[in-house]
Chain A
């Protein structure tokens, strides 16, 4: 989910000592934003906004989701600030939706929808709730008042907003990327266990083929053929050494061999 989503709210929620954290959040520098929030929180354990922003950053980073969820649950249930409560409920709802916990997600999204007085969050919570209902019919019927509000606000949902609120599934790549991925999967299951990882380059040849297949479809075949005949020369030249697990490997990313596709690039 784009981090920019919360700018509208976050900027408004920002108080003096949160300025830097908010900026880092805007820049999607999750790690430093989390650190900064931690610092503010250490100074003032009552700083709900720091806890909120820190837990959202943790979520975006994908680390320790359980801890982030616990913080969000605490804030959604009992934050003193109404908007902080709504925001935490919204984030929690999205997280639960992504995990397939539709009923809990619907409860939290509905809570955010009803609590907030912020226009941006109101639209997003409503739109997410509507999409969730379509995604998981098991939720059942909504409270008639909520349903009515959703129907009223529907006209305000732009196409971009609907796209933003939709739960995107991981793209598997186009059909043209499949042959390369099959070859890599076969190699990794059937051949590599027998011969071991022996590539001296980074990424390894199978990973290079995999990346090239995902990005460039069938053009991955000439790319990997070129890589395989070049490999000994790249090792001999010893350019761009990288330490990986106490071994030296040589960087040779896909982009180094496709950069000239871009028009006007030298």
Chain B
């Protein structure tokens, strides 16, 4: 399902509602992209670079377009586009700086800047911050799709913060029904996290830490390896082959410490996977991208 934010949505609605304006509006829609591209030659290069996957290069081109533009709203739009590409290039701090400039140039962009700030914080694993930004984005959403998107992201951030109630409350604020998200939250609530300390303690019995986290194959491999090396230690000690004993003991210490470490790590892995599943369930295929044909006007296209 593809939804447009208010501005674009309105354009399509007008076409449907009033046939007398159809031609006029069609002409406007045709010329909108030209107006955008006319602002800067670099924007075309930027779009090509983004298509080729060179997001950092695209961000620089958009940034140049912004710096060359003498109209504040256009400058804001280009900076926002640059921030978006920097986000895709995982240059999060630069993306945030571009958003500052976008908002300075055009304060009306603040709702879309909030979304991207939240995305940056999420990508950087700063869940408190992302929750804050998406909370604000839900409150200040300019359209239903934007609200639904921000609500899902807010719920996901809350799950990362282990605040399941908060996540549920966030989904309540969405403009969509969010059945899948609620099911994912319910499944998460019904399940239980494993305890890393217990995983480590069980790991003292080779392989049992992995068993605890449900990694049976890994557990059996650890058990077999440790058993073989312990047997080797005993055998060489009985035969007083102390050189071989020293070598085998060194390896056995490694396997044994690995079993304990793996017991802890696998429980963390289990918990994270559970959390990831819940977050994936909440987010579904939610994503957004700017409509590149109308840049530097920032019109977002949401997908759910």
Contact = CB atoms under 8 A, between A and B. Distances in A.
Is the A/B pair a real complex?
A: yes
Contacts of A100: none
B67 A230 contact: no
Interface in B233-291: 253-255, 257-262, 264-265, 268, 272, 275
13 contacts: A20-B67, A32-B56, A221-B253, A222-B254, A222-B258, A223-B258, A226-B258, A226-B265, A230-B262, A236-B217, A260-B265, A260-B268, A266-B275
B158 interface: no
A31 B91 CA distance: 14
A27 B218 contact: no
A20 B254 contact: no
Nearest to B263: A226
B64 A229 contact: no
A96 B217 CA distance: 56
B261 A223 contact: yes
A20 B217 contact: no
B209 to A, nearest CB: 10
A75 to B, nearest CB: 25
A232 B257 contact: no
B258 to A, nearest CB: 2
A232 B210 CA distance: 14
Nearest to B162: A266
B215 A233 contact: yes
A226 B259 CA distance: 7
Contacts of A226: 258-259, 261-262, 265
B216 to A, nearest CB: 9
A228 B222 CA distance: 9
Given A223-B258, A233-B218, 20 more contacts: A19-B67, A20-B63, A20-B67, A24-B60, A27-B94, A29-B60, A32-B60, A219-B261, A221-B254, A221-B258, A225-B255, A225-B257, A226-B262, A226-B265, A229-B218, A229-B221, A230-B218, A236-B217, A260-B196, A266-B160
B225 interface: yes
A192 interface: no
Interface of A: 19-20, 23-24, 27, 29, 31-32, 35-36, 219, 221-226, 228-230, 232-233, 236, 257, 260, 265-266
B118 interface: no
B63 A225 contact: no
Contacts of A19: 67
Nearest to A32: B60
A20 B60 contact: yes
Nearest to B220: A229
B73 interface: no
Contacts of A225: 254-255, 257-259, 261-262
Contacts of A219: 261
Contacts of A36: 60
Interface residues of B, number: 34
A236 B225 CA distance: 20
B257 A221 contact: yes
B181 interface: no
Contacts of A265: 125
A226 to B, nearest CB: 4
A257 B259 contact: no
Nearest to A262: B125
B296 interface: no
A29 B56 contact: yes
A31 B258 CA distance: 41
Given A20-B64, A260-B196, A266-B160, A232 B217 contact: yes
A260 B272 CA distance: 10
B145 interface: no
A260 to B, nearest CB: 5
Q: Which are the 5 A-B pairs with shortest beta-carbon distances? A: A225-B258, A222-B261, A222-B257, A226-B262, A226-B258
B260 A222 contact: yes
Interface string B64-88: 1001000000000000000000000
B246 to A, nearest CB: 14
A225 B225 CA distance: 10
A222 B259 CA distance: 7
B160 A224 contact: no
Contacts of A32: 56-57, 60
Nearest to B250: A221
A229 B162 contact: no
Contacts of B63: 20, 23
Contacts of B222: 229
A219 B258 CA distance: 9
Contacts of B217: 232-233, 236
Contacts of B215: 230, 233
